[in-house]
Amino acid sequence: MSEKAENLLNSVAETLAERGSKHKSVSFFTEETSETVSAKFNRLFGRQKPVHHILGGGKSADVLLWRNKKISASVLTGATIIWVIFEWLNYNFLTILSMLLVLGMIFQFIWSNASGLLSRSSSKVPRVKLPKELFVNVAVSVGNEVNRALEFLQDVSCGGNLKQMIVVVLGLWVAAMLGSWCNFLTVLYIGFVVLHTFPVLYEKYDDQIDNFVYQVLEQFQNNYRKLDAGVLSKIPRGSFKIKKDE
């Protein structure tokens, strides 16, 4: 009976030791994975999804991320040509529109008369007609973006997050300063170039950009703590009390 009891105790001790070692290994693994997951999620603005998914995941995201370099380069080149025509060559929209309409009318006039003289039978001149769905889609897209921007600004103003409020106000102030330095077309072109180049650069160098941004934010926080400890905390604050009518 004593040998059986000793064997039983030894088996129980071995099972407890195995369970303890398994529990330690599992907890160590979960801690390691949680650290790696938190490190992966330590992205700019709390980003947890790929850049392509954040930009919508469609053809516009492919263009912004230069999935097809020919299309992306042609879009950027077209925007640059439009900016050069209106900004450097001092053409306005009405002048360009009138010149294009005149050239189109001259082309159609020559086509309709030359075809009758050469073949003695007037050929059908191609006519340009824009579909109604194009204007509807453009209006709906612009309206959705405007409503989304208004909703974001109202959420920031009513959310109670002071830091986010300060960041948005500073961004609008920078936009106002840019508007005072250059015209609206140049501001749109600068924004288009930034939107067309920053996402692909961030997708390629996201770790370096995230580390740089967090270092800058940490430096700002340290400077603010020093300012708060040295200056702001020493400013006397008056106590405002409301006197009750007796």
Contacts of 63 (CB under 8 A, 6+ apart): 71, 72, 75, 196
What is the pTM assigned to this prediction? 0.55
Digit-coded pLDDT (tens) for 163-185 = 788 888 888 998 888 878 888 88
Contact 149, 158 (CB under 8 A): no
CA gap 9, 70 in Å, rounded: 75
Rounded to an integer, the average pLDDT of 73-88 is 91
Rounded to an integer, the average pLDDT of 87-99 is 87
**Residue 140 scores a pLDDT above 90:** yes
Ramachandran category for residue 182: left, alpha or beta (phi over 0 → left; psi -120 to 50 → alpha): beta
Digit-coded pLDDT (tens) for 3-17 = 555 555 556 555 545
Average pLDDT value over all residues in the chain: 75
Rounded (10°) CA dihedral 43, 46, 49, 52: -80
Q: Which tokens hold the place of 48?
A: 């947890």
Contact 187, 179 (CB under 8 A): yes
